[in-house]
Amino acid sequence: MTDPISSSLLPVTLLTGFLGSGKTTLINYLLKHNHDEKVIIIENEFGPINIDSSLLNVNTEIKIVEMTNGCICCTVQGELTEALHKLHAKRSVGELQFDRLIIETTGLADPAPIIQTFFIDDLIRETIQLDAVITLVDAQHILKQLNEHRVALSQIGFADRIILTKTDCINDEQKAEVINRIHKINHKAAIFETEKGQIPKSHWLDIHAFELSDELTINKGFFVINPTQIFEAGFKSLPRQKQTTSWDDNICSYLFEAGELDLKKIGSFMESLVEQYGNDMLRYKGVLAIKGNDQRLIVQGVHKVVGFDYGSPWQNLSERISKLVIISRKLPFDELNQAFLKTISDQ
* Residue numbers at the binding site for ligand GTP (CB under 6 A): 17, 19-25, 52, 107, 165-166, 168-169, 195-196
Query: Least distance from C-beta 22 to ligand GTP, angstroms?
Result: 3
Cβ-based neighbours of 77, under 8 Å, separated by 6 or more:
113, 117, 120
| Beta carbon nearer to ligand GTP, 123 or 176 | 176
| Beta carbon nearer to ligand GTP, 170 or 326 | 170
Beta carbons of 253 and 159 less than 8 angstroms apart:
no
Cβ-based neighbours of 268, under 8 Å, separated by 6 or more:
343
| Rounded Cα–Cα distance for residues 323 and 313 (Å) | 15
15 C-beta neighbours (distance < 10 Å), count: 26
Angle at 88 between CA 189 and CA 75, to 5 degrees: 65
Best CA proximity match to 262, nearest among 290, 287, 288, 234? 290
| Beta carbon nearer to ligand GTP, 51 or 176 | 51
| Rounded Cα–Cα distance for residues 15 and 103 (Å) | 6
Query: Least distance from C-beta 284 to ligand GTP, angstroms?
Result: 27
| Beta carbon nearer to ligand GTP, 196 or 240 | 196
Query: Least distance from C-beta 282 to ligand GTP, angstroms?
Result: 20
| Beta carbon nearer to ligand GTP, 22 or 157 | 22
| Rounded Cα–Cα distance for residues 97 and 34 (Å) | 16
| Beta carbon nearer to ligand GTP, 21 or 226 | 21
Best CA proximity match to 108, nearest among 166, 50, 22, 45? 45
Q: What long-range pairs does 312-315 form, CB within 8 A, spacing at least 24?
A: 312/214, 314/289
Query: Least distance from C-beta 164 to ligand GTP, angstroms?
Result: 9
Query: Least distance from C-beta 179 to ligand GTP, angstroms?
Result: 15
Query: Least distance from C-beta 289 to ligand GTP, angstroms?
Result: 42
| Rounded Cα–Cα distance for residues 133 and 14 (Å) | 5
Query: Least distance from C-beta 87 to ligand GTP, angstroms?
Result: 22
